[in-house]
Amino acid sequence: MKVLVVGSGGREHALLLALARSPQRPTLLCAPGNAGTAPLARNVPIAADDIDGLVGLAQSEAVDLVVVGPEVPLVLGLADRLREAGIATFGPDARGARIEGSKAYANTLMDRAGVPTARSRTFEAGDAEAARGYVEAHALPVVLKADGLAAGKGVVIAESTPEALSALDDMLGGQFGEAGATVVIEDFLEGEEASVFAVTDGEAVVFLATAQDHKRIGEGDTGPNTGGMGAYAPAPAVTPETLEQVRERIVQPVLKALRDEGADYRGVLFCGLMLTDSGPQVIEFNCRFGDPETQVILPLLDSDPLDLLWRAATHTLAGAEVAISPEAAACVVLASAGYPGSYEKGKPIDGLDDASGVATVIHAGTRREGDEVVTNGGRVLGVVGRGATLVQALGAAYEGVDLMTFEGKTFRRDIGRRGLAHVVDP
């Protein structure tokens, strides 16, 4: 079987590592990939948002399955085009991907399906006065979200009314371009956050390990939001009972609503949840695997990863045998100094081989330069440890972290802290 993975980050490296251990021994391609994907797959220099280029590649290479990593090509209709060309694709069509591409749409869908989520209202740029009035009367904190894709930078949790009004003006005034021309204003949910990954062919559902990620750059969840500075799995806060509630109250009704809309949803329905006193509530949906959560949930998939993705892509998921390991995994992200603001690239990385002896080193933003691997992004590497317990997984990850150096290496020492708080240590 020939499989093309679309994307260039740590998530795609983790997907390729999972596919490479399939007993089906697939031939792997990656577009465009990075220095970490090159030993596993043939990297083809086609950008993840070059829809025509990717469809052409899949056709000329007679690829059997395309696995789409990032959200942008899905929102642009890559899966629609590939399926039209007769190529099995893991990823929803453009209609389905709107569940991530438009937060207002996701809320409408949830309202219709009766899915528990924060109370919200949506305002267009033309409704600025009404939006201001709504914000002024709203309890604090209040949550403001740019409707469209904003690469994790489109949400403001305002603690005061002046702060909320100024965020509202920025969004409606074009800070996020089209993505912020529509603004969603939500009630603030209290609780612990967790991520649930439902693999689906549109009807049947398989849950992977649950996870928690760390979005802020600074320890103790301080400083600006990033793409994610680390993650661990499973999330002890999500009990088996909670997962059943997520299946019945959230995933199944949303998939039904998507089918009613005519969406062809095959892939991952990522549920960002707040575990509140009244049960799990949806913060948002993503239409693809999370990054860096993928780096910790795929190593815990004991059954054949290719079989799972193939069944979801070909609508044959019902009855699939999926085995999730009872172990734990943790990922610590190494970033460039200055990230998520501006940062320098091209810093040589030392210790990759040593670190690979104790942990799995995932490449996110790297590039090969002659004999060296150099930094090539804000998030540079993810170091994944695995063990019988979260403590052991974290130990392995940090051992790997300490074996690698590059100028400006920036990371958090407190990954997994919330998970450890659930561990009863006599």
Ligand X SMILES: Nc1ncnc2c1ncn2[C@@H]1O[C@H](COP(=O)(O)OP(=O)(O)O)[C@@H](O)[C@H]1O
The residues binding ligand X (CB under 6 A) are 118, 143, 145, 152, 154-155, 157, 186, 188-189, 193, 215, 272, 283-284
Query: Between 74 and 88, whose beta carbon lies closer to Mg ion?
Result: 74
DSSP 422: T
β-bridge mates for residue 145, sequence order: 155, 184
Query: Between 189 and 231, whose beta carbon lies closer to ligand X?
Result: 189
Query: Between 138 and 145, whose beta carbon lies closer to ligand X?
Result: 145
Q: Which two tokens stand for residue 179?
A: 């993505």
Query: Between 43 and 102, whose beta carbon lies closer to ligand X?
Result: 102
Query: What does residue 415 show for φ and ψ, rounded to 5 degrees?
Result: -65, 135
In angstroms, what is the minimal distance from the CB of 281 to ligand X? 8
Nearest to 389 by CA among 325, 332, 293: 325
Region of residue 146 (left: phi > 0; alpha: psi -120 to 50; beta: else): beta
Which positions ≥6 away from 281 have C-beta within 8 Å? 116, 117, 118, 189, 191, 273, 274
In angstroms, what is the minimal distance from the CB of 269 to Mg ion? 14
Sign of CA dihedral 94, 98, 102, 104: positive
Task: Please tell me the distance from the alpha carbon of residue 21 to that of residue 190, in angstroms, as a whole number.
Answer: 40
In angstroms, what is the minimal distance from the CB of 276 to ligand X? 9
Stretch touching Mg ion by CB under 5 A, among 61-69, 233-241, 247-255, 279-287: 279-287
Count of residues binding Mg ion (CB under 5 A)?
2
In angstroms, what is the minimal distance from the CB of 204 to ligand X? 26
Query: Between 77 and 272, whose beta carbon lies closer to ligand X?
Result: 272
In angstroms, what is the minimal distance from the CB of 237 to ligand X? 14
Amino acid at 197: F
Nearest to 184 by CA among 73, 110, 288: 110
How many residues belong to the chain? Answer: 426
Residue 287 touches which of ligand X, Mg ion, none (Cβ within 5-8 Å per kind)? none
In angstroms, what is the minimal distance from the CB of 231 to Mg ion? 12
Residue 165 touches which of ligand X, Mg ion, none (Cβ within 5-8 Å per kind)? none
Residue 155 touches which of ligand X, Mg ion, none (Cβ within 5-8 Å per kind)? ligand X
Which of positions 282-301 make contact with Mg ion (CB under 5 A)?
A: 284
β-bridge mates for residue 362, sequence order: 382
Nearest to 12 by CA among 26, 28, 43, 33: 33
Query: Between 10 and 202, whose beta carbon lies closer to Mg ion?
Result: 10
Residue 311 touches which of Mg ion, ligand X, none (Cβ within 5-8 Å per kind)? none
Per-residue binder mask for Mg ion (CB under 5 A), 218-257, x = binder: ----------------------------------------
Task: Please tell me the distance from the alpha carbon of residue 278 to that of residue 391, in angstroms, as a whole number.
Answer: 30
Which of positions 254-273 make contact with Mg ion (CB under 5 A)?
A: 272
The strand pair at 366-369 and 372-375 is best described as antiparallel
Q: Which two tokens stand for residue 4?
A: 């093309």
Query: Between 190 and 402, whose beta carbon lies closer to ligand X?
Result: 190
Residues forming the site for Mg ion (CB under 5 A): 272, 284
